Amino acid sequence: MEEQVSRLAAKVQAKLEGLPPDRRLLIGIAGIPGSGKTTLARLITARLNAARPDTAIAVPMDGFHLTRAALSALPDPVNAHARRGAAFTFDAAAFHSLILSLREPISNVVPANPPVPVYAPSFDHAVKDPKENDIPILQTHKVVVVEGNYTALAKPPWSSAAALFDELWFVEVAFDTARSRLIRRHVKAGIAADEEEAGRRADENDLVNGREIVENMVPVDEVIHSIADDNWV
């Protein structure tokens, strides 16, 4: 893993050196559930910030989950809640709007009137719903790493958002490795009561979504191999 992270961080750093002052470098990280997208995003941003503080920020797609109330308002609310995490249970239009806003030129800082950050939503696991405007993306954040299942999905409007990234990466993982990780994750987070229930959720939702992701992907710039060890979670 270290070799891959070092190479990717060096690649981003090289692109950053030639970046115009008013532009951000946008990197999208896609992959099936349990592939290690979040881990990679955190490692890359940490590496970049160690070299130059406050240069990079990781933004998860989780904040674009539809709220439980919105799921209940869909035509088939039972299925919507059961399939939470599928592409149709996200606010794809809002995600596209965020990426569009990040593509806008960065304004110059005026000390008496500092620019307003671009805000992204987060996901509050305690209440199991998104939290609006919770992640401030500052002017100093010249690298924004956006990670999520559908960052490279070849279906509109996801595909329109994908076209706005400077780099698209895909974290590749064996489905059985992802399944093992998801079972542990669901039990630890209290999403499932035990491993049996967690396995059913993985098989009936997460890995179904995973197959859609793998079968409907736009071209990517990098394929990162997520190996079966405890460093990828």
DSSP, residue by residue, 173-209: --HHHHHHHHHHHHHHHTSSSSHHHHHHHIIIIIHHH
Give me the tens of pLDDT residue by residue for the chain, a chain 233 residues long: 788 999 999 999 999 998 999 999 999 999 999 999 999 999 999 999 999 999 999 999 999 999 999 999 999 999 999 999 999 999 999 999 999 999 999 875 445 466 779 999 999 988 999 999 999 999 999 999 999 999 999 999 999 999 999 999 999 999 999 999 999 999 998 889 999 999 999 999 999 999 999 999 999 999 999 876 555 55
Going by the DSSP 8-state scheme, the letter that residue 113 receives in this structure is: S
Q: Which domains does the chain have, with CATH numbers?
A: 2-174+219-225 (3.40.50.300)
Task: Identify the pLDDT of residue 70.
Answer: 98
Output 181-189 pairs: Cβ under 8 A, ≥24 positions apart: 181/34, 181/232, 181/233, 182/33, 182/34, 182/206, 182/207, 185/34, 185/233, 189/125
Task: Identify the pLDDT of residue 189.
Answer: 86
CB 85 within 8 A of CB 149: yes
Task: Identify the pLDDT of residue 112.
Answer: 47
H/E run at residue 98: helix 92-103
H/E run at residue 87: none
122 Cβ contact list (under 8 Å, min separation 6):
60, 62, 63, 130, 131, 134, 135
Q: What is d(CA 71, CA 74) in angstroms, rounded to the nearest whole number? A: 5
Going by the DSSP 8-state scheme, the letter that residue 114 receives in this structure is: P
Going by the DSSP 8-state scheme, the letter that residue 93 receives in this structure is: H
